Amino acid sequence: MTAFADRHIGPTPEDQRRMLDAVGYGSVDELMDAAIPEVIRWHGTLDLPPAGTEEQALAELRAIAGRNTVATSMIGLGYHGTHTPPVIRRNVLENPAWYTAYTPYQPEISQGRLEALLNFQTMVADLTGLATANASMLDEGTAAAEAMTLARRAGRSKSNVYLVDADTLPQTLSVIGTRAEPLGIEVRIIDIDNPETALPDAFFGLHLQYPGASGAVRDHAAVIAAAHERGALVTVAADLLALTLLRPPGEAGADIAVGNTQRFGVPMGFGGPHAGYLVVRAGLERMLPGRLVGVSRDADGNPAYRLALQTREQHIRREKATSNICTAQVLLAVIASMYAVYHGPEGLRAIAERTHAKAARLAAGLREGGVALAEQPFFDTVTATVPGRAAGVVAAAAERGVNLRLAGPDTVGVACDETTTDAHLAAVFAAFGVAEPAGDGHDALPPGLARITEFLTHPVFHAHRSETAMLRYLRRLADFDFALDRGMIPLGSCTMKLNATAELEPISWPGFADLHPFAPAGQAAGYRELIGQLEGWLATLTGYDAVSVQPNAGSQGELAGLLAIRAYHRANGAGHRDVCLIPSSAHGTNAASAVMAGMRVVVVACDPEGNVDLADLDRKIEAHRPALAAIMVTYPSTHGVYESGIAALCAKVHDAGGQVYVDGANLNALLGYAKPGRFGADVSHLNLHKTFCIPHGGGGPGVGPVAVRAHLAPYLPGDPLAPRREDGVGSVSAAAHGSAGILPIPWAYLRMMGGEGLTRATAAAVLSANYVAARLRDHYPVLYAGNKGLVAHECILDLRPLTRATGVTVDDVAKRLIDYGFHAPTMSFPVAGTLMVEPTESEDLAELDRFCAAMVAIRAEIDRVGSGEWPKGDNPLANAPHTAQMVTGDEWRHPYPRSVAAYPAGVDRAGKYWPPVRRIDGAYGDRNLVCACPPPEAFEQ
């Protein structure tokens, strides 16, 4: 039987021999010995269990899932039971056309997910009554933290005080606290119910929860107005389902709303992933963090979607960034938006009414049974006062298979959702020791806060009510997009490798999908085992001592790692150390994270070979020695090179009292050959959505574990529900284990590869990159190389000389690759005017050759432009990509034939991928910002 590793790794041993010939090495071992500097090399066998088959791994995962207890969770606190419509589960969550797509930076081949994200933005804006929503946040806690910093930038107040309503979700409060502290923001909790509470004179922002954690629905209009009088901005964390029945925050005067869209069809997954949201009133849209989808037009003037204000994707602005979010939660945002498309406004309202009716019946039964409930309007959650009995009631409910919230020694919270049945309520009544109520109770929504405005009026939320229509809509959008299920996505730094079906299957099993993150520990034994093993394996692979999977993206892992460094310095009486050295080639998130961790960024230059300039490093260390907190370097470098200076670099920084952070996004070039925790680094984050097979999802989800040496272990992120330790770091995600629901994916990958398979994969990835470099070197200069002219797992093709000579840009080449049936490599990162190619180990030789042939053919096309044979403004490159509409038009006035436009050398005519739109004019859309669904008339031609 074929081992899984042989299916994961594309090139066969025979292929690899041919590739080695092209690169000029006799064996993979020789190649790796030559490529990897001996100073970092680790010679050993990885101590992982021997590789299991797919069947074994799945059987073990089934047993692990079986050790989780799936109870009915009525805990609430922002996580609720929900029915994922099967048509959405199978055709989005479980469909590689959606989950293997990349972030839509190449909009012409991403129109499907861009439309779905625009639906998401429209849904959030409509429901909250605010103007502009972004295309997802990592969770509600981090969205609330981003809203806090947005309020600080946008508001008039010079105060550093941020007020938080006492009835805020505890995990949100925890994340806000973590993010506030390094920025010098003072968080003050206020009880807005208490008439004695006076707002302080000076504060820059106020965070409210609607409905509150207790379930209370409050009229916030007055407190919002009072905050505005003091120059503060107000954020309302709002439940979207409740907003189908309640006056939205925008109509109460809120400036910003945040929240979680989990209950729109996304399983709880023991904490994630889910799409958080952030939406702002008019006037604040240019300050939004994260990605924003907007409408623009293509070269034919047809409407087309693309990411708007791309320079606002904050991390690109490095230390001037105000947010570090990069990978977000696209797949989950697509699911939530499709839930709204599927149900429509009436359907959502009906779900909300049913949910409220259950809560009303619950309240009636408890009251009739003599249980005291807070006298307050509620939507889905009631808080009962049972003096001295709360723990007993919660235990009694658990015995009946229902989780309730132990809200205090005397209080129990019970939340209803769309999955709540009368049988669940009967179990709750029994747990409280009360009889079932005679009637159904009555509406407990505050009449003055009833929603009167319409929402989701756009036709897309009305047109797909039958399952047939829904199925076809999902298929139509998926067909617009180019994902890994069509062809190679050779994006440097992104590691778009195989996301094996066996790795993905378990995430929708109820034993993983249906656990509430705050379920009693006894119910999550399987998850604890899975997470413990995974963290242990990741520590083994990286040479670190401790790992936390809490950060839900690489950017959050960076922040967690830097916060650990900061806390460590403070604990050692060196709290003044606040300078973070970052090489000029670094990923933008590095600098953005450093600023968020309260550090000052000092840039270190690179030498002409692309390595960190050690002389400049010496100068910067000298200039900042007493204040030096850390250096943040990527290894292998973002230039795709194994730098041999890394050991010296680590030593220099350590000698000066600093800590070494190695950005682990490029770990795919190291596994089995080097361990950052052994070659001098103190902390790294890993990207489980790159190296460890979590699919990219069109721009998320991700998991960015933080891995540390022992001295930093006490400063790993804390549990958001536990009190923060005096010298601890607090939580960086809303749930203790972040996006736990997708951790079966990397677990399965490691279990099926074993140490040997992983090591072989690394070598295959390095061989593939060197093969591409060797094949293309004569056609495009390869920008940087290390030992013996070898690259690591990716290579940079320098287009700049060609651009200067011919006017053909890196953009033209990227778009022309679409005509050849490829997703472009990474464009202009880390060097403007270049393409960075990362083939990964999973692409077989035929696909690598198809790519190289396309690049060679494109080079010949560039030459025809350069020679003047084709005019600069009218050639297959300038006009790319070509749509079917264009090449089948009745007129054709271009100096090259239609066949060259559509079927350049090597393109399979029968299997051709047709982009739905021509090249998109980004600037037009930025000038005319439209970030919600345009009216259908806009698409009439």
Report how many residues bind ligand PLP under the rule CB under 6 A: 15
Q: In angstroms, what is the minimal distance from the CB of 797 to ligand PLP?
A: 18
Q: In angstroms, what is the minimal distance from the CB of 58 to ligand PLP?
A: 27
Q: In angstroms, what is the minimal distance from the CB of 492 to ligand PLP?
A: 8
Q: Give SS3 for 100.
A: coil
Q: Does 699 bind ligand PLP (CB under 6 A)?
A: no
Q: Does 696 bind ligand PLP (CB under 6 A)?
A: no
Span from 360-368, 552-560, 652-660, 912-920 in contact with ligand PLP (CB under 6 A): 552-560
Q: Does 589 bind ligand PLP (CB under 6 A)?
A: yes
CA distance 205 to 230: 9
Q: In angstroms, what is the minimal distance from the CB of 636 to ligand PLP?
A: 10
Q: In angstroms, what is the minimal distance from the CB of 937 to ligand PLP?
A: 37
Span from 292-300, 542-550, 551-559, 757-765 in contact with ligand PLP (CB under 6 A): 551-559
Torsion of Cα atoms, 40 then 45 then 49 then 50, to 10°? 130
Selected from 141, 554, 672, 680, the binder of ligand PLP by CB under 6 A is 554
Q: Which residue has the CB atom at the shortest distance from ligand PLP?
A: 554
Q: Does 587 bind ligand PLP (CB under 6 A)?
A: yes
Q: Does 638 bind ligand PLP (CB under 6 A)?
A: yes
Which bin fits 693, alpha (ψ -120 to 50), beta or left (φ > 0)? left
Comparison of 449 and 559: residue with beta carbon closer to ligand PLP:
559
Cis preceding linkage at 881, omega within 30: yes
CA distance 700 to 265: 17
Beta pairing, strands 411-415 & 405-408: antiparallel
Selected from 493, 548, 611, 684, the binder of ligand PLP by CB under 6 A is 493
Comparison of 177 and 554: residue with beta carbon closer to ligand PLP:
554
Q: Does 279 bind ligand PLP (CB under 6 A)?
A: no
CA distance 384 to 722: 23
Binding mask 704-723 for ligand PLP (x = CB under 6 A): x-------------------
Selected from 555, 684, 803, 875, the binder of ligand PLP by CB under 6 A is 555
Q: Does 549 bind ligand PLP (CB under 6 A)?
A: no
- Type of residue found at 769: A
Comparison of 73 and 593: residue with beta carbon closer to ligand PLP:
593
Span from 87-95, 553-561, 606-614, 882-890 in contact with ligand PLP (CB under 6 A): 553-561
Cβ atoms of residues 98 and 335 within 8 Å: no
Cβ atoms of residues 692 and 662 within 8 Å: no
Selected from 132, 149, 420, 634, the binder of ligand PLP by CB under 6 A is 634
Cβ atoms of residues 680 and 650 within 8 Å: yes
Residue 364 CA: distances (Å) to CA of 215, 717, 761: 15, 41, 61
Q: In angstroms, what is the minimal distance from the CB of 697 to ligand PLP?
A: 11
CA distance 232 to 285: 17
Residue 927 neighbours by CB under 8 Å, 6+ apart? none
For every residue of 396-464, DSSP letters joined together read HHHHTTEE-EEEETTEEEEE--TT--HHHHHHHHHHHT-PPPSS-----S-GGGB--S----SGGGTS-
Comparison of 543 and 551: residue with beta carbon closer to ligand PLP:
551
Within positions 834 to 863, which residues make up the interface with ligand PLP, using CB under 6 A?
Answer: none
Q: Give SS3 for 257.
A: strand
Q: Does 327 bind ligand PLP (CB under 6 A)?
A: yes
Q: In angstroms, what is the minimal distance from the CB of 406 to ligand PLP?
A: 34
Question: Which among 496, 490, 493, 478 has a CA at the least distance from the CA of 820?
Answer: 490
Comparison of 91 and 638: residue with beta carbon closer to ligand PLP:
638
Look up residue 229 and give its two tokens: 């009088």
In this structure, what DSSP letter does residue 379 have? S
Question: In Å, how far from its chain's centre is CA 279?
Answer: 17
Question: Which among 404, 411, 423 has a CA at the least distance from the CA of 358?
Answer: 423
Comparison of 127 and 594: residue with beta carbon closer to ligand PLP:
594
Comparison of 259 and 554: residue with beta carbon closer to ligand PLP:
554
Comparison of 214 and 493: residue with beta carbon closer to ligand PLP:
493
Residue 434 neighbours by CB under 8 Å, 6+ apart? 365, 366, 368, 369, 370, 371
CA distance 590 to 63: 39
Q: In angstroms, what is the minimal distance from the CB of 552 to ligand PLP?
A: 9
CA distance 186 to 205: 11
Q: In angstroms, what is the minimal distance from the CB of 706 to ligand PLP?
A: 12
Q: In angstroms, what is the minimal distance from the CB of 687 to ligand PLP?
A: 5
Q: Which long-range contacts (CB under 8 A, 24 or more apart) does 614-620 make?
A: 614/645, 614/648, 614/649, 614/652, 617/581, 617/649, 617/652, 618/652, 620/581
CA distance 89 to 81: 15
Q: In angstroms, what is the minimal distance from the CB of 194 to ligand PLP?
A: 40
Q: Where are the alpha helices (DSSP H) in 725-829?
A: 744-776, 800-806, 810-819
Look up residue 752 and give its two tokens: 């099926």
Q: Does 238 bind ligand PLP (CB under 6 A)?
A: no
Q: In angstroms, what is the minimal distance from the CB of 584 to ligand PLP?
A: 14
Span from 43-51, 465-473, 535-543, 550-558 in contact with ligand PLP (CB under 6 A): 550-558
Comparison of 111 and 634: residue with beta carbon closer to ligand PLP:
634
Q: In angstroms, what is the minimal distance from the CB of 694 to ligand PLP?
A: 10
Span from 386-394, 548-556, 747-755, 792-800 in contact with ligand PLP (CB under 6 A): 548-556
Within positions 650 to 679, which residues make up the interface with ligand PLP, using CB under 6 A?
Answer: 663, 665
The overall longest dimension of the chain from CA atoms, in Å, is: 90
Comparison of 85 and 704: residue with beta carbon closer to ligand PLP:
704
Selected from 293, 553, 633, 729, the binder of ligand PLP by CB under 6 A is 553
Comparison of 133 and 494: residue with beta carbon closer to ligand PLP:
494
Question: Which among 200, 253, 202 has a CA at the least distance from the CA of 231?
Answer: 202
Which residues form the interface with ligand PLP (CB under 6 A)?
Answer: 326-327, 493, 553-555, 587, 589, 634, 638, 663, 665, 687, 702, 704
